[in-house]
């Protein structure tokens, strides 16, 4: 997953509002969001190549999301960064203990950023900066550099989320989803130089990415209200079709209901 923005403990009705786009090569096999058979309390998509995930929640209220850190030329390591999110979701460690494990194993993985925790205790860590931080109330953006690095797409999605939450009454899944569909590219002079060349900087610059072989594969919206109701919506794209999955969970009771469809 390559872009997310989240409002943490700032909205009067929703202590967590998270929107994200997962960007990936189109041919990589992926399972859409579902409750996992081997861990039935985990709701997440699944990378069928490495068996991990980029974003997910549990019925107990744990959640996590990961982005890769763009570092061209980095020697690819065999350990999958998707294991970091699935490891937190399937485990029982306190978040402070899990962050300590991430710090200790940082060299085993290619560059990444991760947020993990719960409504009461949320943390961010990157093995590129080797800095962990407790997330304070606020609105954040994260792409393929460090948290809140002011790339044009990060500034745009943060601003869009902030403006929407300031004006929307009520907040809706559809309204949040629209923020993730922006395909406008910034001017060349505003692009970062991350070592991939100007053509790819342009391709990767919008909130919603399209190209011949790589692009946005899924939009996800997560809402958690103040009485423990979690809504999870995913819209995924595959072979010219889009699929929607919608789930509602009452946190703490282990029960979740949902439905999927294809259009």
Lowest-pLDDT choice from 72-76, 86-90, 95-99: 72-76
Q: Which residues pair with 214 in a beta bridge?
A: 25
Which strands form 63-68's sheet, in the order they lie side by side? 30-35, 42-47, 55-58, 63-68, 112-117, 122-126, 131-134
Rounded-to-integer distance, Cα 162 and Cα 76, Å: 36
- Local confidence band at 137 (pLDDT 50, 70, 90 cut-offs): very high
Strands (E), the chain: 3-8, 16-25, 30-35, 42-47, 55-58, 63-68, 112-117, 122-126, 131-134, 138-142, 214-224, 229-238, 241-250, 255-262
Domain that holds residue 94: 3-262
- Least Cα distance to 232 among 248, 219, 216 occurs for 248
Q: What is the pLDDT of residue 262?
A: 35
Torsion over CA: 169, 161, 166, 62 (sign): positive
- Tens digit of each residue's pLDDT (9 = 90 or more) over 102-114: 999 999 999 999 9
Are the CB atoms for 117 and 95 separated by under 8 Å? yes
- For residue 207, what is the domain's CATH number? 3.60.60.10
Total of domains in the chain: 1
Predicted TM-score (pTM) of the model is 0.95
Neighbours of 210 (CB within 10 A): 11
Tokens of 18: 């998270």
Q: How confident is the model at residue 251 (pLDDT cuts 50, 70, 90)?
A: very high
| Banded pLDDT at 115 (limits 50, 70, 90) | very high
């Amino acid at each position: 997953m390559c872009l997310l923005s989240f409002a943490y403990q700032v909205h009067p009705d929703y202590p967590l509002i998270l929107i994200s786009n997962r960007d990936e090569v189109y041919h990589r096999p992926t399972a859409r969001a579902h409750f996992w058979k081997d861990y039935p309390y985990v709701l997440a998509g699944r990378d069928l190549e490495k068996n991990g995930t980029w974003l997910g929640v549990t019925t107990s209220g744990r959640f996590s999301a990961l982005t890769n850190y763009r570092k061209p030329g980095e020697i690819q390591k065999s350990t999958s960064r998707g294991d970091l999110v699935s490891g937190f979701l399937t485990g029982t460690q306190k978040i402070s203990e899990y962050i300590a494990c991430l710090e200790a194993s940082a060299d085993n993985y290619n560059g990444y950023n991760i947020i993990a925790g719960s409504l009461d205790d949320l943390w961010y860590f990157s093995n590129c900066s080797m800095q962990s931080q407790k997330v304070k109330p606020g609105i954040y953006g994260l792409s393929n550099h460090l948290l809140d690095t002011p790339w044009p797409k990060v500034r745009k999605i943060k601003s869009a989320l902030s403006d929407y939450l300031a004006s929307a009454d009520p907040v809706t899944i559809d309204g949040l989803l629209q923020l993730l569909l922006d395909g406008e590219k910034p001017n060349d002079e505003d692009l970062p130089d991350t070592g991939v060349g100007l053509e790819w900087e342009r391709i990767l610059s919008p909130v919603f990415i399209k190209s011949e072989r790589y692009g946005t594969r899924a939009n996800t919206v997560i809402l958690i209200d103040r009485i423990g109701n979690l809504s999870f919506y995913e819209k995924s794209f595959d072979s010219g079709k889009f699929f929607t999955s919608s789930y509602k969970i009452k946190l703490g009771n282990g029960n979740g209901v949902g439905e999927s469809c294809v259009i």
